[in-house]
Structure 1
Amino acid sequence: MQTAAINMNTGELPELAWVELDKIFVDDTYQRPIKPRRVQQILRDFTWSQFGALMLVAREDGRFAVYDGQHRFEAARQHPSISAVPAAIVVLDQAYEEAQSFLGVNINRSAISTVEKYWAGIEAGDETMMQICSVLEEAGCEVVPAGTKSPAPARTSAITAIERAIRSYGDTAVTQACRALREAWPKDNSALNGTMIQALARLYRNNKRSIDHQRMVTKLHGKDRKILVADGETFRKMGGGDAALNIAKVMVEVYNKGLQKDLITLGVKA
Structure 2
Amino acid sequence: MAKQSTSRLKLNAPLGRMPVLQFIPPAELTVDPSYQRSIDATDSQALIRSIAQHWNWDLCQPLVVSRRLTEEGERLFVIDGQHRLEASRLRGDIAQLPCVVVAYTSAADEAASFVHLNQRRRPLKALDLFKAALASEDTEALAIASALSDSGLSLAPHGNYASWAPGMVSNIGGIQSAWRKQGEAASRHAMRALSEAFEGQVLRYAGTIYPGIVAVCREEASDGKIEERRFERFVTMLALRSQDDWRSDVMLEQAQSSAGYAESAAAAIRGAWRRATSGNEQPASAGARAGTGAALPPFSGRQWCDQCDQQVQYGQACLCRDKHCTIRRAAA
TM-score by length of 1: 0.53
Q: CA deviation at 1:260?
A: 4.2
Q: CA deviation at 1:220?
A: 0.7
2:140 counterpart residue number: 128
Is 1:207–2:225 an aligned residue pair? no
Is 1:216–2:234 an aligned residue pair? yes
1:231 equivalent among 249, 262, 265: 249
1:137 equivalent among 131, 140, 149: 149
Q: Distance in 2 between matches of 1:52 and 1:137?
A: 49
Q: CA deviation at 1:156?
A: 0.8
1:198 counterpart residue number: 211
1:165 equivalent among 178, 186, 199: 178
Output one character per residue of 1:10-36: Cα deviation in whole Å (capped at 9) or x when no partner. xxxxxxxxxxxxxxxxxxxxxxxxxxx
Is 1:118–2:130 an aligned residue pair? yes
Output one character per residue of 1:215-255: Cα deviation in whole Å (capped at 9) or x when no partner. 11111111122112212222222233222222223323433
Q: CA deviation at 1:197?
A: 1.8
Amino acid at match of 1:133: A
Q: Distance in 2 between matches of 1:182 and 1:252?
A: 18
- The 3 A distance-change label for structure 1 pair 204 and 102 is farther
2:270 counterpart residue number: 252
- The 3 A distance-change label for structure 1 pair 127 and 234 is same
- The 3 A distance-change label for structure 1 pair 113 and 258 is closer
The 5 Å alignment of 1:1-270 reads: 111-145=123-157, 150-190=163-203, 193-208=206-221, 212-260=230-278
Amino acid at match of 2:244: K
Q: Distance in 2 between matches of 1:205 and 1:182?
A: 17
Amino acid at match of 1:246: S
For structure 2, the residue ranges without an aligned partner over 5 or more in a row are 1-7, 22-56, 62-83, 85-120, 282-332
Q: CA deviation at 1:112?
A: 2.4
More RCO (CA 8 Å, sep 6+) = 1
- The 3 A distance-change label for structure 1 pair 261 and 142 is same
Three-state SS of the structure 1 residue aligned to 2:175 is helix
- The 3 A distance-change label for structure 1 pair 261 and 52 is farther
- The 3 A distance-change label for structure 1 pair 103 and 227 is farther
Q: Does structure 1 retain, via aligned residues, the 8 Å contact 2:159–2:170?
A: no
- The 3 A distance-change label for structure 1 pair 148 and 252 is closer
Q: Distance in 1 between matches of 2:157 and 2:265?
A: 28
Q: Does structure 2 retain, via aligned residues, the 8 Å contact 1:103–1:117?
A: no
Output one character per residue of 1:44-65: Cα deviation in whole Å (capped at 9) or x when no partner. 6679x76999xxxxxxxxxxxx
Three-state SS of the structure 1 residue aligned to 2:164 is coil
1:23 counterpart residue number: none
Q: CA deviation at 1:162?
A: 0.9
Q: Distance in 2 between matches of 1:244 and 1:156?
A: 16
Q: Distance in 1 between matches of 2:59 and 2:205?
A: 26
Tell me the percent identity. 21
Q: CA deviation at 1:193?
A: 2.3
Q: CA deviation at 1:146?
A: 5.9
For structure 1, the residue ranges without an aligned partner over 5 or more in a row are 1-38, 54-100, 264-270
Give the stretch that moved more between structures: 186-195 or 168-177: 186-195
Three-state SS of the structure 2 residue aligned to 1:129 is helix
Q: CA deviation at 1:190?
A: 2.4
TM-score by length of 2: 0.44
Aligned length: 176
- The 3 A distance-change label for structure 1 pair 192 and 224 is closer
- The 3 A distance-change label for structure 1 pair 229 and 110 is closer
Q: CA deviation at 1:102?
A: 9.6
1:19 counterpart residue number: none
Three-state SS of the structure 1 residue aligned to 2:201 is coil
Output one character per residue of 1:106-136: Cα deviation in whole Å (capped at 9) or x when no partner. xx97522332222222121122321221221
Amino acid at match of 1:239: S
Q: Does structure 2 retain, via aligned residues, the 8 Å contact 1:173–1:205?
A: yes
Three-state SS of the structure 1 residue aligned to 2:277 is coil
